[in-house]
Structure 1
Amino acid sequence: MEDEVADRRGIELAMLAEELKASDVGPEFLTGELKGSHDPSCFVFTVRAAMSGMERKYIRDRALEGHESARTRGTTIGGAAVTDDAMLAMALHLRTQKRSLRDIAARLVITTGKKKGQHPSPATVMRMLRDHDERRAATP
């Protein structure tokens, strides 16, 4: 999927380069190895665009490998957890009252860490409830 996106970006960039050339417009690099003005359809510009797409894929793959490695070691990915059992219990209670995620988040307060006293985001509440539901479903 990522390869298809990179290929599509490369094709779109090549089409843009042709449109720019037809309009007598060319890129000018202000810094770096390609500093100066260039013909947008030139080989260097095309290769640079292709390398950029490959670099993005490499960075993404390395990040995913790091996440997988952290999961296998049992390490939390991202920042410190802001939820606890008391917050989960309150969120579950509010969910039974048919409250929205936004409303539930506004009624919860983080009790520890740098975000102490703040409200968790609706996305955090959603993940907390989803993880709880998945754990319950997995327990026979």
Structure 2
Amino acid sequence: MTRVFSEKISTRARTRPELEAAVKLAGDIRASGVAVTLVVHEHKRLGRGIELALLAEELKTNAVGLEFLSGELKGSHDPSGTVFTVLAALPGMEREYIRDRTLEGHEFARKRGKSIGGASIGDDDMLAMALHLRDQKMSLRDIAKKLVITKGKKKGQHPSPATVLRMLRDHDEQTAQPAHDE
């Protein structure tokens, strides 16, 4: 018997209904005495870090096998084996390293006066609204949900919280600089 579960959700998401359903079904089938193997495209799609370790332990407890169709861990694995655990942790560590290096590069570029990111999507009205909502102690995520982009390819969409942060930070930096008399 083959059952396919498909999910297009980030492995960072707290709730992954299809993965949870697949693991539950695998455990239920295994409890009836049938051998079960959970087959995943690539280990990076299954999870990262502690979440992957917890999932591996659950699979091991239920005697469910694990197989990856591609990637560094291609093949069948003991879900709680040491090699699997170490290799599974590497992508999370690599991601953190890349993130840290990217943030350092952005900060270095900002200090040299370089602009980071794509074309500006904000305007004076959006900035005024963002400042007003920030004064009301709203989170960046909530502010982003209330704003609407009025120009360009993303017209009609909401900006990301990161875009709101950048817009507010740029405003704060500009207003904090003393005026120069010529």
The TM-score with structure 2 as length reference comes to 0.47
Q: Is the 8 A contact 2:127 2:168 kept in 1?
A: yes
- The alpha-carbon deviation at position 53 of structure 1 amounts to 2.0
1:1-140 matched pairs, under 5 angstroms: 10-83=49-122, 87-88=123-124, 92=128, 109-110=150-151, 115=152, 118=155, 121=158, 128=167, 131-132=170-171, 135-136=174-175, 139=178
**Larger fraction in helix:** 1
Q: Which amino acid in the other structure matches residue 23 of structure 1?
A: N
Q: Deviations over 1:87-125 (max 9, x none)?
A: 4279649x89xxxx78x956x844xxxx18946846667
Contact 2:68 2:76 in 1 (8 A): yes
**CA displacement at 1:130 relative to structure 2:** 6.5
Return 5+ residue gaps in structure 2 as ranges. 1-47, 133-142
Aligned partners of 1:63 and 1:26: how far apart in 2? 37
Q: How many residues align?
A: 118
Task: State, as a whole percentage, how many aligned pairs show the same letter.
Answer: 58
Judge conservation of contact 2:59–2:65 (CA < 8 Å) in 1.
Answer: yes
What 5-or-longer segments of structure 1 have no aligned partner?
A: 1-8
More strand by share: 2
Contact 1:27 1:39 in 2 (8 A): yes
Please report the RMSD computed on the Cα atoms of aligned residues, expressed in angstroms: 3.8
Change in 2 beyond 3 A, CA 1:18/1:119: closer
CA distance in 2, matches of 1:64, 1:21: 38
Report deviation, 1:36. Answer: 1.6
